[in-house]
Structure 1
Amino acid sequence: MKYKAVIFDLDGTLVNSIYDIADAMNTVLRKRNFNTYDYETYKTFVGHGVRSLILQAVPESPEKAKLVDVCLTEMLDIYSSCCTDKTAPYPGVLKLLDDLKSKNIKLAILSNKEDSLTKKVAKAILPDYVYPTLGLVEEALKKPNPQVLLELCKTLNVTPEECMYVGDTKADIQVAKNADMVAVGVSWGFRDKEELVKEGAHFIINTPADLLEIL
């Protein structure tokens, strides 16, 4: 088998977390009497880390830079307490992970979600699956920067050519290509298929089981 490892994005790929993310951010906005947003709008905000989310959600003002820092701390605190309330794996994801493990495929997660929250969600929602789970620890290292992804390959003892990266946003396709990996886009996530096609995904899958066909 050519591929020895599969590295996944988390939000919008393995789990649907948009409800908890949106609820937490709307709580922050509501506290300041700012406009809130619906779940579909939040799907366009996520993918590049919490700071990016807040930059898009908070209205423009002379004090915006300072406000973003304050809202970031508050958002992380609120989201940490509710990040598993409504979040659940997408249909077919657990079966896919079982099948991959049965084929001795190494599994890992790399997310732009803050690292401790990535680990918390993965542990709660995917409790029977053990793999390196990494989130964002430094803004400069977030996807599509391939540095952490390449380090993860070394941890898994595979070459980039032996690994595929699976995600739902352009950042996921870009980071895979920047690392010289096969980039697999999922059509069930937070972005539409057109974005994945535009970024040059090598494959686009419509169900988790489709990944096995590629393997």
Structure 2
Amino acid sequence: MVTIVCNGVQFENIEAVIFDKDGTLANSHQYLWHLAEKRAELIDAIVPGLKSKILATFECGNPAGLMAIGTREDDEIAIASLLNRADARSIVQSAFQQADQQLPRKATLTPLYPEIVELLQSLNSLKLGILSSDIEPNIRDFLEEYQLSAYFQGMIGAQPGISKPNPKLLFLICKVLNVEPEAALVIGDTIADTTLTPRSIGVTWGGNTIAQLIGAGAIAHYPSDIRLSHT
């Protein structure tokens, strides 16, 4: 039986730990800013005068904003609504694809936060998974770039029609890991993570404050705040 302890709060009978990626494992602030700028620039070239509105919608400086926690589908829908034309969605999708092609690989611009490897090593007796709004090819590329693949037994990326904190996503990753949701602990940097389950740790090293991590069972300011104990 394994207990996870975080700043005085104990989570008992844990079999698996499920991590968010961007803002939790990976520092993605710089990449997301560049991506939002490039997307806005490409769309503005087709529909002039929208760049500032697009950037405002993305909320690049907000760790809990659309750019940080939304899926690609969420982003497409939100930006297409600004264009007010029949072909808006196709314009947005094309611009997003061009932006992906013009920027370097995401993994190279999203370095690990300090102490993450040490945290993963300390939890290696448990099943570890990733539940992210990013697409699965990007998750795999990130794990390979930073030599983390061996630590994780499963991942779930962006899914059509649903996004965090939809509890279906928690059930999906738990099914992949072959554990019951009640035996899983979620670690993430936004309310979309901390409201997935009461058994959650909200982290502030991604930029969010304690007040923005509603629903978290505990708060970690550093990865070293999270530790495993055997009882």
TM-score of the superposed pair, with normalisation by structure 1: 0.81
2:70 aligned to which of 17, 25, 48: 48
Give the secondary structure class of the aligned counterpart of 1:123.
helix
What does the per-residue CA deviation read over 1:53-89, in whole Å, with 9 as the maximum and x for residues that have no partner?
A: 455567823134444333333344445x430232111
| Distance change >3 Å, CA 20–CA 184, structure 1 → 2 | same
| 1:97 Cα offset (Å) | 0.4
What is the CA distance between 1:42 and its match in structure 2? 6.7
* Structure-1 separation of matches of 2:149 and 2:175: 24
What letter matches 2:175 in structure 1?
K
Q: What is the correspondence of 1:98-109 to structure 2 with a 5 Å cutoff?
A: 98-101=121-124, 104-109=125-130
More displaced 10-residue stretch of structure 1: 82-91 or 55-64:
55-64
Structure 1 residue aligned with 2:119? 96
Does residue 114 of the first structure (1) align with residue 135 of the second (2)? yes
Which of 55, 61, 65 is the equivalent residue of 2:83?
A: 61
5+ residue gaps, structure 1, are none
1:205 to 2:220 alignment: yes
Partner of 1:191: 208
CA distance change for structure 1 residues 23 and 209 in 2, over 3 Å: closer, same or farther? Answer: same
The equivalent of 2:163 in structure 1 is 142
User: For 1:124-139, what aligned pairs fall within 5 Å after superposition?
Assistant: 124-127=145-148, 129-131=150-152, 132-136=154-158, 138-139=159-160
Distance 1:67 1:190, change over 3 A: farther
Q: Are residue 164 (structure 1) and residue 179 (structure 2) matched?
A: no
Question: 1:74 maps to what in 2?
Answer: 98
Query: Once the two structures are aligned, what percentage of the paired residues are identical?
Result: 25
Please say if residues 9 and 166 of structure 1, whose CA atoms lie closer than 8 Å, have aligned partners that are also in contact: yes
* AA of the residue aligned to 1:8: F
Q: Deviations over 1:126-182 (max 9, x none)?
A: 43533212211x3323211222321322332322222101111111112234xxxx0
User: Alpha-carbon deviations, 1:30-59, whole Å to 9, x = none?
Assistant: 232523758524762311212334555678
Gap regions ≥5 residues in structure 2: 3-12, 46-50
Residue 18 of structure 1 and its aligned partner are, at CA, apart by: 1.8
Conserved in 2, the CA contact under 8 Å of 1:14 and 1:89?
yes
* Compared CA separation, residues 152 and 191, structure 1 to 2 (3 A): same
**In 2, distance between residues paired with 1:22 and 1:58?**
19
The alpha carbon displacement at 1:17 in A equals: 1.3
- Find the structure with the greater CA-based Rg: 2
Candidates 13, 24, 28, aligned match of 2:35: 24
Q: What is the aligned residue count?
A: 205
Supply the distance in 1 between the matched residues of 2:122 and 2:116 (Cα, whole angstroms).
10
* Change in CA separation of 1:56 and 1:192 when aligned onto 2, cut-off 3 Å: farther
Deviation at 1:110, TM superposition (A): 0.7
Aligned partner letter, 2:209: D
Partner of 2:23, secondary structure, is coil
Change (3 A) 1:9 1:123: same
